[in-house]
Amino acid sequence: MEKKPVTIGILVNPRKEQILIPLQILDEWKKENSAREISVLLCPFDSPFIQPGQFPHLIIQPVQKIIESADLILALGGDGTILRSVQFIGRRQIPIMGVNLGGLGFLAETSPEEVIQHVENFLNGACVVERRSLLQCEVLDSDEKYFAFNDFVVDKAGFSRVIEIVTRVDGKLLNSYIADALIISTPTGSTAYSLSAGGPIVVPETNVFIVNPICPHSLTNRPVVVPDNSTILLTVYTEFKEIKLFRDGQLMKSFPNGTRFKLSRAPFVVKLVKMQDKSFYETLRSKLHWGEDFRDKKRWSYQNGKNQSE
């Protein structure tokens, strides 16, 4: 890949002071590799932690200039920073490498200490670029269209009573959910809000979407997995003045009673850079602490062959 000039763009979470650690590492790396045809562009997003001239070997650019020229995006922050980066990148499908400065980090698997090694792996082709599907949501009877990496949620907008979400898949009635909200999730989003609402964990390469009601009135309602080449039509009814649409945890807009949404697979993908020695199953075991024993064995009556109550 380095046989031609390479441009690396850096997008940051401006609220995290921890971004300074990988930025300093990348600045030193660029200084030491000044002879290589690599440009490193940084969009600070008005971060209060980044001062003018602090990283002299990184070129400050607005986000749109970076998106126009980058061959790789480094998202410094956590999974939320990757979600934000996806919205900037849109249809350009630039590979994204997440540098985890947060907590859970399902998507951002590179640590600050590994950032140079992982960038070099990318430049040398020694990594995996996964193609992750997105959801497209069209608001019928309007020209509004949104894209989500994790999920869309139609929500009762803080009203005390449930809403009705009539859900059709490829024209066939699935259910008229009476619930607080409904999540439509990608496989990537299966470990996000949908998981908290009792949804299944889905391997990212699986070509499906998850339809998952939140607090349904009927206890027999359960998450349903549908093929991702399906078209999902939602018609939402409320006794309140509005319902709300969320994308990847962010409020998009409020809509009136009877609004119809058409959801389908987006015509482009997200490219996530992953290391060859890490698998999704390893991430699950690590992040969800599977197989670990959380019991406090010191509280047991017997320890070291001695009864502690004596």
Q: List residues with catalytic annotation.
A: 79
Cα–Cα distance, 276 to 210 (Å, whole number): 28
Exposed, middle or buried by CB within 10 Å (0-12, 13-18, 19+), for 11? Answer: buried
Cα–Cα distance, 51 to 35 (Å, whole number): 26
Give the burial string for 283-301 (b: 16+ CB within 10 Å, else e). Answer: beeeeeeeeeeeeeeeeee
Q: 134 with 140: CB under 8 angstroms?
A: no
State the helix-helix crossing angle for 115-123 and 20-32, rounded to 10 degrees.
50
Cα–Cα distance, 114 to 90 (Å, whole number): 27
Q: 85 with 67: CB under 8 angstroms?
A: no
Cα–Cα distance, 41 to 247 (Å, whole number): 28
219 Cβ contact partners less than 8 Å away, ≥ 6 residues apart: none
Give the pair of three-digit tokens for residue 205: 């390469």
